[in-house]
């Protein structure tokens, strides 16, 4: 009987220690506002029902609330002006040694061009109309046709236009050679500026960038899973695994509460480890979830939450973050 009592008390003591080590009630982290990651800047929305990797999203555009086109300088300027702290953009290597900022693997959906994006020069891509294919009425009208000519920027242009700003650079392939090209490009940036950015995408190019630039912040499905699984096993102690250090994390909002120390202790640990945390919308299986796009979900963030959120609907989310109607 005495042994049982001792064992029970020991378990209770351990449970109490784990609780105290992870409860946000004892955190000294001050309340704040979320850090905003705007996905593709200000972009047109589209129906997400039945999406596949080959779906042309420009053909299923929803009635527009604004006239900005994703991945353009104008869209990025508007996103920063609206309050975004970080922007996500998509890149493709070109045949003339540049990186084009454009989402799609091919040109056929959004532009009047055709073929694989990376099989063109930046000079050729500059001639295209990136607003050509958008329609909200099954092809009856094309409200942005003719308004996007020459608006596909190079990565050089983006960094020149927005010095000192942070970007998530999305590699659109799983090609090691693209990782090599991007790593070589990033070495031309001042180290402090380079470390503002996160490279994310396929496991292979991201691993290649990390091997070439060990201090570069990166994110892939593999790096995310390694971090989350190791932290699930060890985070109760306050220990931050090496796979969680110096990276960025995109965490679905319905997974985050299961992380040890969520929210404030977890955020403190990741911040001390040089890692940035951004919440996504709920995960329901099958891959990364969408951004945190539902205003009602945003209103359910922990009080004083000062970590990051990623959103595709910056114009709708920012008024809620600012506390304005």
Closest by CA to 268, choosing from 224, 309, 306, is 306
Count CB-CB contacts under 10 A for residue 107: 23
In the three-class reduction of DSSP (H, G, I as helix; E, B as strand; rest coil), residue 23 is classed as: coil
pLDDT digits (tens, 9 = 90+) for 171-221: 999 999 999 999 999 999 999 999 999 999 999 999 999 999 999 999 999
Cα dihedral 304, 235, 28, 82 sign: negative
User: Can you give the pLDDT at residue 6?
Assistant: 60
Helix or strand holding residue 38 (H, E): strand 35-39
Q: Are 109 and 61 in contact (CB under 8 A)?
A: no
Rg of the chain, C-alpha, whole Å: 22
20: left (phi over 0), alpha (psi -120 to 50) or beta: alpha
Q: What is the DSSP letter of 315?
A: H
User: Can you give the pLDDT at residue 200?
Assistant: 95
User: Can you give the pLDDT at residue 288?
Assistant: 53
Q: Which two tokens stand for residue 65?
A: 């609330």
Q: Are 293 and 311 in contact (CB under 8 A)?
A: yes
Q: Are 68 and 43 in contact (CB under 8 A)?
A: yes
What are the average pLDDT values for consecutive 10-residue runs of the chain, which has 325 residues? Answer: 64 62 78 94 89 86 96 97 97 97 97 97 98 96 97 98 97 95 96 95 96 96 95 94 96 94 96 96 73 91 94 94 72
DSSP track, 125-188:
HTTSBTTTT--SSTTS--TTTTS-BT---BHHHHHHHSTT-EEEEEE-S--HHHHHHHHHHHTT
Spell out the residues 6+ positions from residue 162 whose beta carbon is closer than 8 angstroms to its own: 76, 80
User: Can you give the pLDDT at residue 48?
Assistant: 83
User: Can you give the pLDDT at residue 242?
Assistant: 96
How far is the CA of 114 from the CAs of 102, 142, 297, in angstroms?
14, 18, 39
Q: Which two tokens stand for residue 54?
A: 């080959």
User: Can you give the pLDDT at residue 17?
Assistant: 59
User: Can you give the pLDDT at residue 20?
Assistant: 62
Closest by CA to 119, choosing from 135, 133, 102, 136, is 102
- Residue 8's DSSP bridge partners are none
């Amino acid at each position: 009987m005495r042994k049982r009592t001792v064992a029970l008390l020991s378990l209770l003591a351990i449970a109490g220690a784990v609780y105290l080590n992870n409860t946000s009630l004892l955190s000294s982290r001050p309340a704040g506002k979320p850090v905003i990651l705007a996905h593709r800047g200000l972009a047109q929305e589209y129906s997400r029902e039945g999406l596949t990797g080959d779906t042309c999203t420009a053909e299923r555009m929803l009635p527009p609330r604004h006239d900005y086109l994703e991945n353009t300088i104008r869209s990025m300027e508007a996103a920063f002006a609206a309050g975004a702290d970080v922007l996500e953009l998509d890149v493709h290597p070109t045949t003339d040694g540049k990186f084009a900022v454009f989402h799609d693997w091919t040109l056929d959906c959004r532009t009047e061009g055709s073929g694989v994006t990376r099989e063109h020069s930046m000079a050729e891509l500059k001639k295209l109309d990136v607003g050509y294919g958008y329609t909200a009425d099954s092809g009856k009208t094309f409200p942005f046709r003719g308004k996007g000519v020459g608006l596909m920027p190079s990565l050089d242009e983006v960094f020149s236009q927005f010095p000192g700003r942070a970007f998530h650079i999305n590699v659109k392939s799983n090609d090691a050679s693209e990782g090599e090209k991007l790593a070589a490009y990033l070495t031309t940036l001042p180290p402090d500026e380079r470390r503002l950015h996160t490279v994310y995408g396929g496991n292979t190019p991201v691993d290649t960038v990390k091997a070439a630039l060990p201090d570069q912040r990166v994110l892939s499905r593999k790096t995310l899973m390694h971090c989350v699984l190791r932290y699930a096993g060890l985070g109760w102690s306050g220990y931050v695994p090496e796979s969680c250090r110096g990276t960025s994390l995109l965490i679905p909002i319905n997974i985050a509460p299961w992380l040890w120390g969520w929210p404030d202790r977890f955020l403190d640990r990741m911040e001390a480890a040089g890692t940035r945390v951004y919440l996504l919308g709920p995960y329901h299986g099958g891959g990364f979830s969408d951004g945190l796009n539902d205003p009602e979900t945003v209103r359910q963030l922990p009080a004083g939450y000062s970590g990051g959120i990623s959103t595709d609907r910056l114009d709708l989310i920012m008024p809620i973050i600012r506390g304005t109607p």
